[in-house]
Amino acid sequence: MTVTADLAQQTADALWDAVVVGDDHAAGHVVRRALDDGLDPESVLLDVIGGVQRKVGAEWAADRLTVAQEHAATAINERVIAQLSATVHYPRPHRARIAVACVDGEWHALPARLLAEVLALRGFRVDYLGAQIPTPHLITHLHTTGPEAVALSGSLAPRLPTAHATITACQAAGTPVLVGGSAFGPGGRYARRLGADLWAPDARTAADLLARGAPLRRQDAHQPIDDLPHLADQEYTLVARSGRRLVRSVHAGLDRAGHGTGHTPEDLAHIVDYLCTALYLDDTSLLTGYLTWTADILAVRGVRTAFLVPALDLLATELRDFPRATRLLHEARAAITRTTPDTEPGPDA
């Protein structure tokens, strides 16, 4: 066990070295050698390639990789997976048919790709639909092929409303949905709220859950609003519709108050996106979690985070007619001033 773990760790380190300099030849060689040394393909996929991919994310957060370099690293990992799937023996499919897809608008396709390979290695019949698949295509695929379940991957919380629409659409087509990925929150708390049939913290658990037998097919009529009755107040709809206008007015407001430098309109747009998602799920921690995280990310990049609290205040003024949004912003402001004290505007601001 530890021998395997050691080998996996050494291989992951070697793969990282190859990936970070963009040497796909060396990357392929590292993985081939690990397979020859007897490392099991599932471990190569999840511990080695998955491990490197997690490190790519961490290095980006620490501002040691750019987004473009992240894509370059991912492209090499994709090639390594393609090479692995061409060399490793896959069993004849003898288990259920599973469709693997990303939430539409999701750009982190690799976790879904890894799950697809792991499921195929375990003998499932897998249709990997990848990222950027619009929900109508996914549903047509379900009707055409009739899989036992859909595995839906999402890493970006702002895509959760889209994920919800996709989950209910799959279920309405009689297909249960397993979800996974960091978008679904700690312990999969949003997976349950969005009515997913199953949640898995990682690819191994997902494969185990699916191997345990097809989940119960739901036959009850299930409407999206049943999961989230608070949506009846229309706050999400109205705030999401005026999202870009909100960004413009907060941007202008910050300029007037002298907080206009450092951050970008994109930073404000992200905050509004997370606010909308928090409204959709009625969950303050989603907004505070993002604000705390983004304060760290900006701080690492030398961006002054003093604009965060004034931005929240400007949003609260704009949205004063929306009680739920007002409460969310109030709670988020309190949380962020508690956890990241330097977000308070300093005397020179």
SS3 151: strand
Q: Are strands 149-153 and 125-130 parallel, antiparallel or unpaired?
A: unpaired
Segment (H or E) for 149:
strand 149-153
78 binds other proteins (CB under 8 A): yes
In angstroms, what is the minimal distance from the CB of 83 to other proteins?
5
Non-local (6+) Cβ contacts of 11 within 8 A are: 30, 31, 33, 34, 39, 44, 48
CA atoms of 272 and 257, how far apart (whole Å): 19
Q: How far is the CB of 268 from other proteins (least distance, A)?
A: 7
x-or-dash string of contact with other proteins, 146-175, rule CB under 8 A: x-------------------------xxx-
Residue 174 backbone class (left: φ over 0; alpha: ψ -120 to 50; beta: rest): left
Contact segment (CB under 8 A) with other proteins among 50-58, 135-143, 179-187, 301-309 equals: 135-143
* Closest to 255 (Cα-Cα) out of 244, 245, 265: 265
Q: Does 247 sit near other proteins (CB under 8 A)?
A: yes
Q: Is 130 in the site for other proteins (CB under 8 A)?
A: no
First to last CA, the chain: 56
Give the count of beta carbons closer than 10 Å to the beta carbon of residue 223: 9
Residues 79, 28: contact at Cβ < 8 Å?
Answer: yes
Instruction: Give yes or no for residue 260 binding other proteins (CB under 8 A).
Output: no
**Residue 245 binds to other proteins (criterion: CB under 8 A):** yes
Q: Describe the crossing of helices 308-318 and 323-339 by its angle, rounded to 10 degrees.
A: 170
CA pair distance 284, 288, nearest whole angstrom: 6
Task: Choose which of 2, 3, 38, 67 interacts with other proteins (CB under 8 A).
Answer: 67
The reply to whether 68 sits near other proteins by the rule CB under 8 A is yes
Min dist CB 245 to other proteins, Å, is: 7
Q: Can you tell me which of 4, 9, 140, 339 binds other proteins, judged by CB under 8 A?
A: 140
By the rule CB under 8 A, 230 interacts with other proteins:
no
Interaction of residue 248 with other proteins, rule CB under 8 A: yes
Q: Does 268 interact with other proteins (rule: CB under 8 A)?
A: yes
In this chain, which stretch among 4-12, 61-69, 184-192, 280-288 interacts with other proteins, using CB under 8 A? 61-69
Instruction: Out of 9, 25, 62, 301, name the contact with other proteins by CB under 8 A.
Output: 25
* Closest by Cα among 49, 43, 40 to 18: 49
Return the amino acid letter for 185: G
Binding site for other proteins (CB under 8 A): 22-25, 27-28, 66-69, 71-72, 74-76, 78-80, 82-83, 86-87, 104-105, 107, 132, 134-137, 140, 142-146, 172-174, 219-221, 244-245, 247-248, 251, 264-266, 268-269
